[in-house]
Amino acid sequence: MIYSFTVNSSSREELIDITGEIRRLISSGKTTEGVCFVYTPHTTAGVTINENADPTVRKDIVKGLYTLNLERVQFSHLEGNSPAHIKSSLIGCSLFVFIEKGAPVLGTWQGIYFCEFDGPRTRTVMVKID
């Protein structure tokens, strides 16, 4: 079964912690050992795993991607969001997490993030648990 939920971004670019929702979906299922696949069907967004102990890390990731200075490039795509497409490709639109004892296997400081690069928008995250 494929689950989905929405994420509402409030900024042009931001990382939104979705770890709790992924944990909830895993714990509500019958799979205690397996794999959780997380996917977002958007060309200007992504998903990633990174530190969730210090919220400034999320801001630093957004700042770091901004230093690529993609906004100054004269792209052919007329919508004006080519930097978001490139950042989405760099981060990626999917990831997987192992499941053990009914919980995602994450490092002590790790969390799962939805990455918005063309917001604010309402987005979809899809999850499959095997």
φ, ψ of residue 36 in degrees (nearest 5): -110, 120
Cα angle, residue 125 at apex, residues 122 and 130 outer, rounded to 5°: 165
- Domain of 11 in residue numbering reads as 2-129
Tell me, what's the pLDDT at 125? 98
Please name which of 115, 58, 128 lies closest in space to residue 83, comparing C-alpha atoms.
115
Any idea what the CATH number is for the domain that residue 87 is in? Answer: 2.60.120.460
Fill in the amino acid letter for 83.
P
**Locate tokens 């069907």: which residue?**
41
pLDDT in tens, the chain (130 residues): 899 999 999 999 999 999 999 999 999 988 899 999 999 999 999 999 999 999 999 999 999 999 999 989 899 998 989 999 999 999 999 999 999 999 999 999 999 999 999 999 999 999 999 9
Per the structure, the count of domains in the chain is: 1
pTM for the full predicted model? 0.95
Distances (CA, A) of 50 to 28, 56, 73: 24, 12, 28
**Locate tokens 């792209």: which residue?**
75
